[in-house]
Amino acid sequence: MKKVIILAATLLAVTPFTVSAQTDQSTETKTPAKKKTSAQTKSSEKSTQTAKGTQPLKLVTTTPLPGFTGDFDHFALDLNGKRLFLTAEDHKTVEVFDLDGKHLHSITGFDTPHAALYVPESDRLIVADGDDDFGKAEIVDGKTYKIVNTLKLPNGADGAVYNPNNHTYYIETGSDAEGVKTHAISKIDTQKLEHTGDLTFPGNHSEGMAIDHEGKKLYVNLTGENKVGVVDLASGKVENTWPVPGAKKTNAMILDEANHRLFITARTPPKLIILNSDNGSLVASFPISDLNDDAWYDAAHKRIYATGTATTTVFEQKDADHYEKIADVPTGFRAKTSILVPELNRLYIAVSGKGKAGAKLALQVYDIQ
């Protein structure tokens, strides 16, 4: 596993991009009906009260995953097929659930899977699989759950983001080794399921990414440089860079295009940083959950969810310049990766166990209140 875990979160309810980098990992729009299952552990209506008496998140289902150890990484979504995919990087599998949290299947044959994208047109799953000494994208048949092709990538394939405008899945590569001057973001054509080239960026690695709704501009956390890069996707060139003030080891990135805001999470110290997406100027910053990885903007409720170990920090957006922390929702150990599904009004969180003896790994399903 790479020492720094990557996420690129995107604006699910305002733009069609999701990653984990990922995001809503498909281009589907239909909403399936919710069904209750019996093979799951139900919560006792656990919720967190805000100062106003509201309940931002209510835990409705916990699916224990006995036999799993280490860390989970990012999610992918098949909305029409009612499936959720979760990369289990240390278990070397991709786990399949229904949208109520029932465990359906374990896909095997990976080395260190980190991110995934479901492609509904071909019923294929693209899995970013990499570490410091290898990189690849595995193509999985959505019916048989077998790996049907492997695309070689630069070492360290990790987080990713999807651009539906040009049908390209951008996969970050690189490492946290010192002295490395450049790294690549690989391009996967999701229609041809081919590796079509690489973009070169300064520093040893990137983290979260976000793409504007027209698919023309990419924002990326150049974590090795402690900067934000603004990329013209037509030319593949970095047209601007901005410093990230007061924090290092940036992870998630979300673009709130309507308000011209860029939300970035960092680990050192644990912080949410809000920048003007037009010029990179600092708008605000706030403490958040430690060991954070994924973050999401919920446009319907005007909220930001930042998932980290033990808690998910929830902010309310008053307007483009004003934000209020409304809750630290208790979750679980290393419960740092997640996916927001606004069509279902749900947040899914993976509880990991790396470094903790007897850790109880699980999938948690939260209804948004």
Kindly state which CATH superfamily the domain 19-39+70-359 is placed in. Answer: YVTN repeat-like/Quinoprotein amine dehydrogenase (2.130.10.10)
Q: Token match 């070689």: residue?
A: 152
Write down the pLDDT at residue 9: 37
Predicted local distance difference test score (pLDDT) of residue 49: 52
- Asked if 163 contacts 195 with a C-beta cutoff of 8 angstroms, the reply is no
- Once rounded to an integer, what is the mean pLDDT over residues 85-108? 98
Lowest mean pLDDT among 11-20, 67-76, 318-327: 11-20
Per residue in 116-171, pLDDT tens? 999 999 999 999 999 999 999 999 999 999 999 999 999 999 999 999 999 999 99
Average pLDDT over residues 336-365: 97
CA distance 56 to 301: 9
CA distance 69 to 358: 9
User: pTM value?
Assistant: 0.88
pLDDT in tens, 229-276: 999 999 999 999 999 999 999 999 999 999 999 999 999 999 999 999
Residue 137's H or E segment, with its range, is strand 134-141
pLDDT class for 279, splitting at 50, 70, 90? very high
Distance between CA atoms of 366 and 298, rounded to whole angstroms?
A: 14
What are the extents of the domains in the chain?
19-39+70-359
Residue entry with tokens 């996916």: 339
- Residue 363 and residue 169: Cα distance in Å, rounded? 26
> Would the CA dihedral through 278, 167, 106, 154 be positive or negative?
negative
